[in-house]
Amino acid sequence: MSMDQRTRKGRRKAGRQQRRASLWGQWWLYAIVPALVIVVLGVGVSAIQRGGNSSPAAPQGIAFPAYVRQSPSDIKAAYAYAVEHPDMLQYIPCFCGCVQHAGHTSVHDCFVQKRHIQDGIVVFDDHGAGCQMCADIALDAKRLIAQGKSLQEARSYVEAKYSSIGPSTNTPPPPGA
């Protein structure tokens, strides 16, 4: 082997050793960066499993079924309102046609089939999770009542807005109407 070849080989070896040393000199990058990625991903997955910060939670003691938990926030809000205020929504009609295929008597029925008050058990109806009109009607009623409108005024608004769209449920009038 000539002197030139040995010199070149020695330089290559020295270059590899120098690169290896500089990489290991930054060992903390190899330890901290993956740890940060794991932490960030863990926080993101945790937020998704909780449904994010803006999702309405189920009322205390009530567990929403998966089809509600996986629904958009307005659908969750309608389910929560139906559970918390059956006394309001039982007097608000629905116009999506559920009276014909599901026998519903009010928009409340689109979200809740049965309530066992003594046991705190709610049997949900999956219809409301797939019907935007039901959610819109429930949330319109919620908004109007929160604004101080009477139950009869909320019902009249819903009837005026939605009655031309489909058949009404056979909903009893609110007390005193």
How many residues are there in the chain?
177
Residue 111's φ and ψ, nearest 5 degrees, are: -115, -35
Start-to-end C-alpha separation, the chain: 108
Which pLDDT score, from 0 to 100, does residue 115 have?
A: 79
Q: What is the DSSP string of 67-128?
A: HHHTS-HHHHHHHHHHHH-HHHHTTS---SSHHHHT--SSGGGGTEEEEETTTTEEEE-GGG
Take residue 166 and report the two structure tokens written for it. Answer: 């489909």
Residue 150's φ and ψ, nearest 5 degrees, are: -75, 165
| Tens-level pLDDT at each residue, the chain (177 residues) | 555 555 555 555 555 555 555 555 555 555 555 555 555 445 443 333 333 334 466 677 778 999 999 999 999 999 999 999 999 999 999 999 998 888 899 999 999 998 776 667 889 999 999 999 999 999 999 999 999 999 999 999 999 999 999 999 999 999 887
Predicted TM-score (pTM) of this structure: 0.67
How far apart CA 28 and CA 32 sit, in angstroms, is 6
Which pLDDT score, from 0 to 100, does residue 144 have?
A: 97
Q: Where are the domains of the chain?
A: 3-49, 66-162
